[in-house]
Structure 1
Amino acid sequence: MAGIYIHIPFCKQACFYCDFHFSTSLKKKEEMLHCLKKEIALRKEELKGEKVETIYFGGGTPSVLNTSEINNLIATVYHHFDVIENPEVTLEANPDDLSEEKIIELSKTVINRLSIGVQSFFEKDLKLMNRAHNASEAKKCLKIATQYFNNISVDLIYGIPDCSNKEWEENIKTALDFGISHISSYALTVEPKTALESLIAKGEIKNVDDVKAEEQFQILTKTLKKEGFIHYELSNFGKENYFSKNNSSYWLGKSYLGIGPSAHSFNGIQRSWNVRNNTHYIKAILEDKLPIERETLSKTDRYNEYVMTGLRTVWGVSLEKIKNDFGDDFLNYLEKLSNRFIIEDLLYIENKTLKTTQKGKFLADGIASDLFKLN
């Protein structure tokens, strides 16, 4: 089974913290949609007959497209790939795009999952991040969307300057009050060359506080656990049967095909990525060329990637898989380096699987990097 990711590189406005690829100009939208469909056709053989079980519209802001444009892209996937009977089809959306009329339209398509970028229910937080919607729009869209969609994920950001722990608790409660079955939550991160980095440097916005971010992460994990959510990946929490199948396939090492500028693909051995430029992407596709760079992963690369993704998830790092796929040298290396993290109560072994403790979850990426092999 494989997945298809379609990157829609357009946004109404730029969020201060975002370092994803997008443009706030929609002038090239028609050309882009034509090229996305053409790339799908050009790459129809790359999954080598694997059935497609997930289709995911990410960005950017896919909800800037109208329903007809989205349906045309989905139809193109169905035309060129073997899609299972009931695939998970996710649309990332912003609250300001989800009018009642549009939600009803989307509910009549094969889209069966919405990932809604709320981020916060407080006006001051939304303004600080330069989000395009307001708190009222976020609540209104969730009230309507939950009437038409059973599978909804809400994005929330913690560690926002001047967002108190009490306000953070209220953010979580507000999402839960709508009966949401999945929450993706990320720490506000200062990425290089973003507006947020510049505003912090100028003193116009307070810098993020890592201590407060970890406090709010712990609040999040404990609150959602009480509400029956499973913390199945570092930033993702879902009730049973509501895990993101698309994202889970990434973490479990399944194949996926990325369509659109900056989109990444993976086939188990080779990773590839499209050019991160709309104009260059369009020019290449119109010339029947794929603007792709490819990298064949070494055994060490694949080991490091497995350790990174494994420690971020509820499935952990299987010691038997390390032995079978990479050999005794890699297993001995992992066991030796992980021992100090076990002593520090950051990792533990259960059923021959290495996992992070509650204390270690927030530090999972750093721990994983310390377990990497360098050659």
Structure 2
Amino acid sequence: MAGIYIHIPFCRQKCYYCDFYKTVNTSLQQKFLSTLLTEIKERKNYLQNETIETIYFGGGTPSVLSNWELAQILSSIADSFTVSSGVEITFEANPDDLTNSYLKAIQQAGVNRLSIGIQSFQDSHLKKMNRRHNAAEAIEVIKNAAEIGFDNISADLIYGLPNLNQTEWKDSLQQVFQLPVQHLSAYHLTYHEGTAFYTWLKKGTLKELNETESVDQFTTLLKYANKAGFEQYEISNFAKNEMYSKHNTSYWMGIKYLGLGPSAHSFDGKSRRWNVSHVESYIKAFANKSDYFEEEILSEKDRFNEYILTRIRTKWGLSLDFVNQHFGAENRAYLLKQTSKYINTGMVLLNGDVITLSNKGLFISDEIMADLIII
């Protein structure tokens, strides 16, 4: 089994917090699409005939695609790969793009999982982030999508925003859990260099939420999700009735995936590849038949570290038996030694041969991961 990720690099306007590669130059969309279809054909052997179980459209804003452009991409994938009849096809979208006619069209094209970028249910915070929708539109779109027949809907929220208080955060959580969503991705705001938020933070015109308030908001998230019947299966991801994101879970489980489009990453079990993060360079490279990616062959140490960094984030945790089998007894002993102090303080749990983060450990997950990897 394997997955395919397609990066759609276009946005109608840039959000002030986002550091994913994107451009507002939508005049390049047709040339990009033509190049993407070429890349699909050229990389048909990358996954070594593995059956495609998940397809994920991310960005950027995939909902800038017309329904026929989406259908064209999916048709090209079906021509070049063996696609499972039960394939999960996730489509990231902004609420203001999801008219009823568009929802029906992308559903007909094959999309069966929506990931809707809500981010907040407070209009004031949406405006600060430079989002194009308002809270009422977000609520209406989710209800409409469910009525049309989408039964696998994920919503994104951001906490730790400047001046976001507990009352507002609780209101957003109460709102999302009242809606027909089966999945929630909730991320703490990160100030990435190159974003407007980062620039304003450095200039002092924007103030970062203090750590105590951030921890309180994370604690509230865990409490409200649990009360609503949503299981935390990864640090930032929650699902009802085990409706996990199959695609994202495959990343954490070390399953092969192919990344298509500018800035997209690929993994074949032995190496990683990443495409150039510039749509014009991507288009030009294919036109000139020149390199459009870089590649890294993974050493055993790299693969061990990736196992730690991906699996410790999840409810499935780290398996000492797996480490012993794939990385040797020495690395198993190293992992036990490094986790011992966290086990003693209750930050990490050891159940049989499985190591997981406790709720307390979730708050310092970055510190724990840094201690477990091999430098």
What residue number does 2:90 align with? 90
What residue number does 2:195 align with? 194
- Report the alpha carbon displacement of residue 206 of structure 1 after superposing the two structures with TM: 1.7
- Report the alpha carbon displacement of residue 290 of structure 1 after superposing the two structures with TM: 4.5
Q: Do the aligned partners of 2:143 and 2:180 also contact (CA within 8 Å) in 1?
A: no
Q: Deviations over 1:213-238 (max 9, x none)?
A: 22111111121112221111111101
What residue number does 2:220 align with? 219
- Report the alpha carbon displacement of residue 362 of structure 1 after superposing the two structures with TM: 2.7
What residue number does 1:286 align with? 287
What residue number does 2:160 align with? 159
Q: Give the whole-Å Cα distance in 2 for the aligned partners of 1:141 and 1:288.
A: 42
Q: Give the whole-Å Cα distance in 2 for the aligned partners of 1:366 and 1:132.
A: 36
TM-score (norm 2): 0.98
- Report the alpha carbon displacement of residue 134 of structure 1 after superposing the two structures with TM: 1.5
What residue number does 1:72 align with? 72
Query: How do residues 46-57 of structure 1 correspond to structure 2 at under 5 angstroms?
Result: 46-57=46-57
- Report the alpha carbon displacement of residue 107 of structure 1 after superposing the two structures with TM: 2.2
Deviates more, 1:279-288 or 1:228-237: 279-288
- Report the alpha carbon displacement of residue 208 of structure 1 after superposing the two structures with TM: 3.1
RMSD: 1.1
Q: Do the aligned partners of 1:56 and 1:90 also contact (CA within 8 Å) in 2?
A: yes
Q: Do the aligned partners of 1:234 and 1:362 also contact (CA within 8 Å) in 2?
A: no
Q: Do the aligned partners of 1:308 and 1:365 also contact (CA within 8 Å) in 2?
A: no
Query: How do residues 80-229 of structure 1 correspond to structure 2 at under 5 angstroms?
Result: 80-148=80-148, 149-229=150-230
Q: Do the aligned partners of 1:312 and 1:365 also contact (CA within 8 Å) in 2?
A: no
- Report the alpha carbon displacement of residue 31 of structure 1 after superposing the two structures with TM: 0.2
1:29 aligns with 2:29: yes
Q: Give the whole-Å Cα distance in 1 for the aligned partners of 2:93 and 2:8.
A: 11
Q: Give the whole-Å Cα distance in 2 for the aligned partners of 1:287 and 1:43.
A: 17
Q: Do the aligned partners of 1:94 and 1:118 also contact (CA within 8 Å) in 2?
A: yes
Q: Deviations over 1:83-113 (max 9, x none)?
A: 0112000100001111122112222221000
Q: Do the aligned partners of 2:17 and 2:192 also contact (CA within 8 Å) in 1?
A: yes
Q: Do the aligned partners of 1:161 and 1:209 also contact (CA within 8 Å) in 2?
A: no
Deviates more, 1:218-227 or 1:13-22: 218-227
- Report the alpha carbon displacement of residue 351 of structure 1 after superposing the two structures with TM: 2.2
1:6 aligns with 2:9: no
What residue number does 1:239 align with? 240
Q: Deviations over 1:141-171 (max 9, x none)?
A: 1121121210000000011121111211110
Q: Do the aligned partners of 2:231 and 2:242 also contact (CA within 8 Å) in 1?
A: no
Q: Do the aligned partners of 1:15 and 1:130 also contact (CA within 8 Å) in 2?
A: yes
Q: Give the whole-Å Cα distance in 2 for the aligned partners of 1:283 and 1:209.
A: 45
What residue number does 2:259 align with? 258
- Report the alpha carbon displacement of residue 188 of structure 1 after superposing the two structures with TM: 0.6
Q: Do the aligned partners of 1:54 and 1:89 also contact (CA within 8 Å) in 2?
A: yes
- Report the alpha carbon displacement of residue 183 of structure 1 after superposing the two structures with TM: 0.1
Q: Do the aligned partners of 1:146 and 1:178 also contact (CA within 8 Å) in 2?
A: no
1:221 is aligned with what amino acid?
L
2:271 is aligned with what amino acid?
Q
Q: Deviations over 1:116-141 (max 9, x none)?
A: 00000101111111112122221121
Q: Deviations over 1:41-70 (max 9, x none)?
A: 000011111000011000000001111111
Q: Give the whole-Å Cα distance in 2 for the aligned partners of 1:14 and 1:211.
A: 29
Q: Give the whole-Å Cα distance in 1 for the aligned partners of 2:133 and 2:316.
A: 36
Q: Do the aligned partners of 1:39 and 1:290 also contact (CA within 8 Å) in 2?
A: no
- Report the alpha carbon displacement of residue 307 of structure 1 after superposing the two structures with TM: 0.8
Q: Give the whole-Å Cα distance in 2 for the aligned partners of 1:287 and 1:82.
A: 29
What residue number does 1:295 align with? 296
Q: Give the whole-Å Cα distance in 1 for the aligned partners of 2:333 and 2:81.
A: 42
Q: Give the whole-Å Cα distance in 2 for the aligned partners of 1:146 and 1:85.
A: 22
- For 1:207, what is the secondary structure of its paired residue? coil
Q: Relative to 1, partners in 2 of residues 1:290 and 1:246: Cα closer, same or farther, differing over 3 Å? A: farther
1:29 is aligned with what amino acid?
Q
- Report the alpha carbon displacement of residue 286 of structure 1 after superposing the two structures with TM: 2.1
Q: Do the aligned partners of 2:230 and 2:241 also contact (CA within 8 Å) in 1?
A: yes
Q: Deviations over 1:25-52 (max 9, x none)?
A: 1011000000111100000011111000
Q: Do the aligned partners of 2:163 and 2:209 also contact (CA within 8 Å) in 1?
A: no
User: Which structure 1 segments of 5+ residues have no match?
Assistant: none
- For 1:108, what is the secondary structure of its paired residue? helix
2:165 is aligned with what amino acid?
S
Deviates more, 1:87-96 or 1:356-365: 356-365
What residue number does 1:276 align with? 277
1:24 is aligned with what amino acid?
V
- For 2:15, what is the secondary structure of its paired residue? coil
Deviates more, 1:255-264 or 1:94-103: 94-103
Q: Do the aligned partners of 2:70 and 2:106 also contact (CA within 8 Å) in 1?
A: no
What residue number does 1:336 align with? 337
- For 2:26, what is the secondary structure of its paired residue? coil
Q: Give the whole-Å Cα distance in 2 for the aligned partners of 1:232 and 1:285.
A: 39
Q: Do the aligned partners of 1:262 and 1:274 also contact (CA within 8 Å) in 2?
A: yes
Q: Give the whole-Å Cα distance in 1 for the aligned partners of 2:115 and 2:276.
A: 25
Q: Give the whole-Å Cα distance in 2 for the aligned partners of 1:211 and 1:32.
A: 44
Q: Do the aligned partners of 2:187 and 2:236 also contact (CA within 8 Å) in 1?
A: yes
